[in-house]
Amino acid sequence: LIQSHPALQLFVDKLETHTALDDDDRAAILALPHTLRTLEASAYLFREGDHAANCCVILSGFACRHKIVAGGARQILSVHMRGDGTDLQNAFLPLGDHSIQALTRVEVAFIPADKVREAALARPLVGRALWSETLLDAAIQREWTANVGRRDSRTRIAHLLCELGLRQERIGLCDRRYYALPMTQEQLADATGLTPVHVNRTLQALRAEGVIAREKRTIDIADWDHLTRIGDFHMAYLEPPAHKPA
């Protein structure tokens, strides 16, 4: 990682997509004590049940949140990317009810949860920004619940592809129509509540129709609007609200 900027700058940028901050607020966040670490794919950032002492900020790469159910099946609950804060909730509610795992090699900043809490309590706008970040996370979670609960496999996968593309575009990683999809078909299956075999067949169908193309770990979407229609994707739930005059 080229440290031309403070490590947490990416996090500040993300927060400012939904909450206006002033210089002192930015400084307070950038000054948070943190530990930088690089983890390989499949490594755990946090394990369900461990003492939830840290919040994480992803500096590069991709990670996911998941739960294991009885029988060993896994459900991926969300995917996180550059600038995302995960486990911010630990600042106030250290449930530790799920694991965070690297999907690719990731660079992470671990911030002690109590320092995050102090910063949130000390500066209202910082608190507001962090809170909003967890609220956006919750909005995504609601959409995932509907996705795995009520959509068929084709729609589910198309929806996931839309979300990942749009979120990556939002943070300036790429164009929503051509982006790095870091997940294997098995991981896509765990994210959509399907089996790897069925994900494979569904992706093949989408490719055969020319809706998407895939090479290596890259997704190429021929017609974005078409994919959103297939995936019943309405971006409102990802929309940072227009900044209101306080």
Partner DNA sequence: CGCCGGTTTGAGTCCATTCAAGAGGAGTGG
Partner DNA sequence: CCACTCCTCTTGAATGGACTCAAACCGGCG
Q: Pick from DNA, its own copies, none: which does 112 bind, CB < 5 to 8 A by kind?
A: none
**Residue range at the interface with DNA (CB under 7 A); choices 112-120, 183-191, 219-227, 232-240:** 183-191
> Which tokens hold the place of 98?
């799920």
Q: Which is nearer to DNA, 152 or 175 (CB)?
A: 152
Sheet-wide strand order for 85-86: 35-39, 106-112, 54-60, 85-86
The helix-helix angle for 113-122 and 124-150 (nearest 10°) equals 120
Q: Which of 185, 220, 224, 232 binds DNA (CB under 7 A)?
A: 185
Instruction: Count other Cβ atoms within 10 Å, centred on residue 46.
Output: 23
> Which tokens hold the place of 199?
């994900």
What is the distance between the alpha carbons of residues 157 and 163, in angstroms, rounded to a whole number?
Answer: 10
Q: Pick from its own copies, DNA, none: which does 115 bind, CB < 5 to 8 A by kind?
A: none
Q: Pick from DNA, its own copies, none: which does 154 bind, CB < 5 to 8 A by kind?
A: DNA
**Interface positions, 96-155, toward DNA (CB under 7 A):** 152-154
Strand partners, 60: 107
Question: In the bound complex, what is the minimum distance in angstroms from residue 36's beta carbon to its own copies?
Answer: 26
Q: Pick from its own copies, DNA, none: which does 136 bind, CB < 5 to 8 A by kind?
A: its own copies
Assess 226 for contact with DNA (CB under 7 A). no
The one-letter amino acid at 87 = D
